[in-house]
């Protein structure tokens, strides 16, 4: 038996009864709220460590909130009202007709295809309610706040707050930000077609983003224009003209009007503030506080040291002479305060990368400045600073489990510098094959030098290398006899026709010269790579990473042994 369908009037009665029952059953503690903006905005200032003024913060143009509703043209407001809440000035915070229409649509589709939220309800969700779950209790809380908001504040105030807060996509919070982000113009300069495109973004900013899918954004804007016509916000002629004039996008390019000292540092302070939820629940709230809240932001920067550091960069790497940029950070080791931050040559220059802060960002390889961290990890783990290690010019380690290209870690840099006395194994083996193919045997004279054209990859230009074959073969046999030759290299040599682990008749194996030994103190002061590579292999890479983290390093440092030599990218702040 099928039940008769409910008429709209009966459906409304059922909904009202259910609402009364639900409200009677629902008890919660309501919290006080106060939504207001100061009558007079006051700029915030940034000062140095001694209190001297660095700059007064001025908001980038696409992040300034409207202070009065009449700053937003009526046609823009009407576009938003037409698509989001056409009965905004008629309801008391929630719209029964819209709720019934949405309920009917959702019943017909078997899911949630429409919402019945008014602009007031949307603003409540944006600025007041933290709970975003789709539950009956949250919906009732939303309705309660919406009606109270309507009682305590006027319609124009609510609409202004909504238009300053709502997200339009493409990084734009608020209608003024959206006008600049999509059209690079002030909201007061928007035309009807442009206003319709912005209003159309509110339902799904990512889906209708015209920078990503212009056709989808345009179709949505046409729906907005149709709703504006239906609500008498446009005449037929204005509607036709807007439909025939697709808006032209133009991305916003922020401009700084004033210059001030330590530009990169001030920009880091600004970004830190805007990304910090301690200063407001949403970015738009934090922006209003930063640019209009009259804050005094006290920093650690020393302007005299900053000027000296910038001059030092200019002295060593003069501008306009093809030199690279440089970065400088000076910190107080007692408390970690940043006294100097030079992030590049000139923050206010016209170059594309002028505002890239080289002191932070992705960083650069730390190099030998990482060795003291490795030493600290070793001392914490029980190593003595007087522990002795050989410091050869070159040393190799076999890395179990690594792929073929990375199975051997070859480290150069010891007491005698970085230039190894003999080429790496692969080059010596190539020379041995070349000699064997040409001569038919492997007994190279003691003073013979075999020259090869070696390529790491077939498409590479050749590298011409001379190999003293007799000495090279002697050293491999010596390593084999002492159990120091990697297994895969043993197999490769044994595949060479005529190879023997015994020296040629009448010759004896000669031990390779022993490298000098040094203690960890000297190895640190002299920055001997081969010593720290041995140290890392013994104590494990994770200890170095752990020490770096506890010392305050925030850049990603992977637990690999080469990090003790500074192969990870870290920032100057680190």
Any domain includes 354: yes
Q: What CATH number did the domain enclosing 106 receive?
A: 1.10.3810.10
Residues paired with residue 406 on neighbouring β-strands, in sequence order: none
Residues 197 and 327 in one domain: no
Residues 335 and 373 in one domain: no
Residue 107 pLDDT > 70, yes or no?
A: no
Phi, psi at 288, each rounded to 5° = -65, -40
Give the mean pLDDT of 228-248: 95
Alpha helices in 231-363 (DSSP H): 236-243, 263-274, 283-292, 303-316
Distance CA 352, CA 331 (A): 28
Q: Which tokens go with 370?
A: 């990482």
Crossing angle between the packed helical segments 487-494 and 425-439, to the nearest 10 degrees = 10
Task: Tell me if 357 sits within 8 A of 267, measured CB to CB.
Answer: yes
Q: Which of 59-73, 148-162, 350-364 has the lowest mean pLDDT?
A: 59-73
Any domain includes 489: yes
Last residue of a domain, one of 320, 335, 359: 359
Any domain includes 50: no
Distance CA 533, CA 396 (A): 9
Assign 3-class secondary structure to 60-114.
CHHHCCCCCHHHCCHHHHHHHHHHHCCCCCCCCCCCHHHHHHHHHHHHHHCCCCC
Q: Which tokens go with 523?
A: 């190895």
Task: Tell me if 242 sits within 8 A of 225, measured CB to CB.
Answer: yes
- How many beta carbons lie within 10 A of that of residue 194, not counting itself? 26
Residues 389 and 508 in one domain: no
Residues 67 and 167 in one domain: yes
Report the chain's mean pLDDT, rounded to a whole number.
83
Any domain includes 285: yes
Residues 94 and 237 in one domain: yes
Annotated catalytic residue 74: no
Q: Which tokens go with 282?
A: 């949403």
Provide the pLDDT for residue 38: 38
Last residue of a domain, one of 359, 381, 407: 359
Distance CA 528, CA 424 (A): 19
Provide the pLDDT for residue 20: 40
Element (H, E) at 162: helix 155-165
- Which of 19, 43, 368, 546 is the catalytic position? 368
Residues 118 and 209 in one domain: yes
Instruction: Supply the pTM of this predicted model.
Output: 0.53
Distance CA 348, CA 354 (A): 7
Q: Which tokens go with 367?
A: 């190099």
Residues 226 and 283 in one domain: no
Any domain includes 185: yes
Percent of the chain that is helix, strand, coil (3-state, to 5): 45, 10, 45
Residues 536 and 388 in one domain: yes
Instruction: Tell me the per-residue pLDDT of 528-574, one tens digit each, with 9 for 90 and over.
Output: 999 999 999 999 999 999 998 998 888 888 888 888 888 888 887 77
Phi, psi at 58, each rounded to 5° = -115, 130
Residues 219 and 197 in one domain: yes
Annotated catalytic residue 39: no
Instruction: Tell me the per-residue pLDDT of 336-386, one tens digit each, with 9 for 90 and over.
Output: 899 999 988 888 888 878 888 888 876 778 888 899 999 999 999 999 999
Q: Name the nearest CA neighbour of 416 among 513, 556, 302.
A: 513
Q: What CATH number did the domain enclosing 565 receive?
A: 3.40.710.10
- Which of 44, 61, 65, 84 is the catalytic position? 84
Task: Tell me if 178 sits within 8 A of 208, measured CB to CB.
Answer: no
Phi, psi at 296, each rounded to 5° = -115, 110
Any domain includes 26: no
DSSP 531-567: HHHHHHHHH-HHHHHHHHHHTT--S---S-GGGGGT-
Number of domains composing the chain: 4
Domain that holds residue 324: 263-359
Provide the pLDDT for residue 21: 39
Winning range, highest mean pLDDT, from 7-16, 87-96, 201-210:
201-210
């Amino acid at each position: 038996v099928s039940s008769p369908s409910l008429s709209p009037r009966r459906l409304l009665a059922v909904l009202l009864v259910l609402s009364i029952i639900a409200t009677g059953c629902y008890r919660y503690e309501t919290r006080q709220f106060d939504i207001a903006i100061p009558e007079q905005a006051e700029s915030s200032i940034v000062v140095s460590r001694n209190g001297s003024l660095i700059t007064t913060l001025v908001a980038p143009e696409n992040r300034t909130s409207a202070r009065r509703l009449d700053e937003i043209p009526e046609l823009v407001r009407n576009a938003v009202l037409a698509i989001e809440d056409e009965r905004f000035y008629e309801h008391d915070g929630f719209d029964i007709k819209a709720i019934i229409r949405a309920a009917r649509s959702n019943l017909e589709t078997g899911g949630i295809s429409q919402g019945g939220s008014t602009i007031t309800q949307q603003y409540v969700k944006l600025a007041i309610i933290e709970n975003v779950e789709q539950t009956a209790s949250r919906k009732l809380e939303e309705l309660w706040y919406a009606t109270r908001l309507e009682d305590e504040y006027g319609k124009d105030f609510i609409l202004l707050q909504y238009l300053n807060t709502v997200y339009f996509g493409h990084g734009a919070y608020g209608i003024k930000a959206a006008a600049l982000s999509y059209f690079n113009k002030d909201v007061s300069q928007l035309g009807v077609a442009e206003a319709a495109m912005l209003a159309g973004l509110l339902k799904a900013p990512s889906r209708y983003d015209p920078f990503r899918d212009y056709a989808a954004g345009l179709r949505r804007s046409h729906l907005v224009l149709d709703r504006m016509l239906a609500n008498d916000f446009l005449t037929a002629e204005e509607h036709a003209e807007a439909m025939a004039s697709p808006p032209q996008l133009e991305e916003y390019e922020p401009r700084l009007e004033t210059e001030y000292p330590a530009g990169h540092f001030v920009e880091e302070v600004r970004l830190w503030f805007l990304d910090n939820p301690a200063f407001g629940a949403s970015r738009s709230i934090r922006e209003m506080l930063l640019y209009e809240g009259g804050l005094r932001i006290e920093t650690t920067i020393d302007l005299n040291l900053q000027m000296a550091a910038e001059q030092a960069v200019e002295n060593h790497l003069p501008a306009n002479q093809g030199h690279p940029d440089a970065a400088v950070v000076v910190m107080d080791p007692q408390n970690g305060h940043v006294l100097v931050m030079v992030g590049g040559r000139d923050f206010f220059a016209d170059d594309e990368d002028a505002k890239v802060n080289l002191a932070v960002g992705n960083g650069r390889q730390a190099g030998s400045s990482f060795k003291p961290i490795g030493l600290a990890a070793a001392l914490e783990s029980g190593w003595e600073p007087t522990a002795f290690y050989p410091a050869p010019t070159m040393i190799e380690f076999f890395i179990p489990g690594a792929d073929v290209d990375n199975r051997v870690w070859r480290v150069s840099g010891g007491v005698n510098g970085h230039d190894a006395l003999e080429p790496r194994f692969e080059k010596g083996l190539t020379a041995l094959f070349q000699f064997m193919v040409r001569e038919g045997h492997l007994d190279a004279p003691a003073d013979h030098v075999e020259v090869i054209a070696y390529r790491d990859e077939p498409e590479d230009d050749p590298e011409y290398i001379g190999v003293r074959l007799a000495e090279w073969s002697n050293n491999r046999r010596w390593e084999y006899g002492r159990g120091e030759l990697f297994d895969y290299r043993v197999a490769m040599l044994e595949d060479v026709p005529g190879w023997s682990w015994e020296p040629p008749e009448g010759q004896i194996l000669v031990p390779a010269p022993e490298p000098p030994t040094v203690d960890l103190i000297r190895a640190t002061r002299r920055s001997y790579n081969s010593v720290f590579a041995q140290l890392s292999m013994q104590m494990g890479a994770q200890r170095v990473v752990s020490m770096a983290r506890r010392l305050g390093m925030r850049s990603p440092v992977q637990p690999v042994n080469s990090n003790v030599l500074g192969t990870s990218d870290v920032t100057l702040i680190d």
